[in-house]
Structure 1
Amino acid sequence: MKKAINKKSGSKYDIVRQIPKGRVTSYGAIATYLGTKLSARMVGWAMNAAHVAKPKVPAHRVVNRNGMLTGRHHFATNTLMEELLKKEKIEVKEETIVNFKEKFWDPTEELGL
């Protein structure tokens, strides 16, 4: 179930928690949704710290604009991000999401506001 998020007070983590299993989004898509298109890096830094957030944040579902697993180095092991995606039936080849456009979840379209 999708939940509307207040763009002013909602956090990056609130958005990531809305991404359904088997889907991914990009750092830039989250930044655009929050009205900070030029701050995709800030979303990346937030995902780097997501492992300590409560409730849990599925940061493995956030990739770069080309579907590459650029954040993989911030997981407990270098392969954990890919392993978590594969458990959700997302195919990864050469550290890139296969059929990225089909798997892409756009918060602006899905959450509106």
Structure 2
Amino acid sequence: MLFTLSHGFVLLHPDRGIYVGRSADRTYWSKLGAAGRNVVAAFPSRAEAMVHLDAWLGCRLSPDELSQFSCHHVMVDVPGGWASCWALRVAGLEEHIGELAHPCWDNPMGQC
């Protein structure tokens, strides 16, 4: 099966970085703890990204805090709806990649 590039949107927060994904009880961000990942979740539209954000974090954040989040257009270059560090760099998000660019991040001490 051949995978073709598509487009999507990633969530960005100026302090947390790029939204990586979530588990049952935690969200992961490129600048705060990327859980050893080197790809991030990409959403098919801005609206779906914001719905996801609101459903996951909306009840825990004030309107001022929610207003700090933004969506950015990226190429989805990993099957399953993920964007790689390369796609994030192409989209101009280099300064927000943080831990995603460091494969050794997930060591026992929790940092490189």
Richer in helix (by share): 1
Shared fold, TM over 0.5:
no
Q: Which has the larger radius of gyration?
A: 2
Q: Give TM-score scaled by structure 2 length.
A: 0.27
